[in-house]
Amino acid sequence: MVAIADYNVREKSQWCPGCGNFAIVGALKGALAELQIPQHQAVIVSGIGCSSKLPHYVNTYGFESLHGRGLPVASGIKLANNRLTVIDVGGDGDGYGIGSGHFLHIMRRNYDLTYIVHDNQIYGLTTGQASPTSQIGMKTKTTPHGVVETPFNPLSTAINGGATFVARAFAGDMAHMKEIFRQAISHRGFALVDVFQPCVTFNKLNTYDFFTKRVYKLEEQDPKHDTGNRMLALEKAYEQVKTNYERLPIGVFFKEDRPTYEDTLPQIKDKALVEQPLAGLDISKALDD
């Protein structure tokens, strides 16, 4: 029996008081405990950023990699041992900016991974530059006259790009977020959960109050949102654009069953790579000039 406290660590957090990241780490531990995933069977990978410090704060295996490079590391771990539960976490700058090429290609391959993006619409660690999801007009250190670029839309990109589970949560609603994480981790295939995560220090626009006034749950809609309908999911993904951020749906937007990348590999059909003997394996040809 795994309890939430089993995922606790002694390391002191470096996040600012009130940061949305605290709720994310709490919800993640709650989801892992509900799914009864033992600490040694889970790996949490990240890039670089405030959000990417998360692997330090959960007692599972962890790997803080390079800025924007969490997903390739996570997919490599999954290929080496496809029995592990592999979760990648990071910021909107990390995943939708410098790491966006990895994001696109890992999605279309449908690895069985969960990707949680702490989307605070700002670069937190480097103290407040505009990110790919910053709202038009938002004043930051790098945009003193306001952002002029069209924000990146993670949800429509994921729905179009081949992710087989696409959801959004809000760090101000921890119980709902835990349920979304539980579903994402249980899903077989690539699951994106974009989380509205208030950065209380550097983003004075997208605050807890801002989101609380605007978010609504897709599953509470009447009629209920159909998560199998790609076109409807896209329409919902554009609602924040159409309403100029006045209505922000959270919950599961889209779900689909498709074979995972690992399912298609005969080499790991019966046994994970790490369980196979190295004896007799000759890699010298691969190393030839």
Distance CA 92, CA 30 (A): 23
- Please identify which residue in 118, 214, 225, 255 interacts with ligand TPP, judged by CB under 6 A: 118
Q: Provide the minimum distance between the beta carbon of 29 and ligand TPP in the complex, in angstroms, as a whole number.
A: 19
- Of 23-31, 124-132, 212-220, 231-239, the segment contacting ligand TPP by CB under 6 A is 124-132
Chain positions 69 to 108 lying near ligand TPP, rule: CB under 6 A, are 90-94
Chain positions 187 to 246 lying near ligand TPP, rule: CB under 6 A, are none
50 sits near ligand TPP (criterion: CB under 6 A)? yes
- Amino acid at residue number 196: F
Distance CA 193, CA 116 (A): 5
CB proximity list for 261: less than 8 A, separation 6 or greater: 75, 109, 110, 111, 112
- Please identify which residue in 16, 104, 125, 232 interacts with ligand TPP, judged by CB under 6 A: 125
Beta-bridged to residue 44, according to DSSP, are 62, 87
160 sits near ligand TPP (criterion: CB under 6 A)? no
Query: How many CA atoms within 13 Å lie on the side-chain side of 1?
Result: 1
CB proximity list for 138: less than 8 A, separation 6 or greater: 121, 130, 146, 147, 205
48 sits near ligand TPP (criterion: CB under 6 A)? yes
141 or 242: CB nearest ligand TPP: 141
Which residue has 């306001």 as its token pair?
146
Task: State both tokens at 289.
Answer: 């000039």
Residue 154 in contact with residue 117, Cβ under 8 Å? yes
* Strand, helix or coil for residue 90: strand
20 sits near ligand TPP (criterion: CB under 6 A)? no
124 sits near ligand TPP (criterion: CB under 6 A)? yes
Q: Which residue has the closest beta carbon to ligand TPP? A: 91
96 or 254: CB nearest ligand TPP: 96
Residues that bind ligand TPP (CB under 6 A): 48-51, 67, 90-94, 118, 120, 122-126, 131
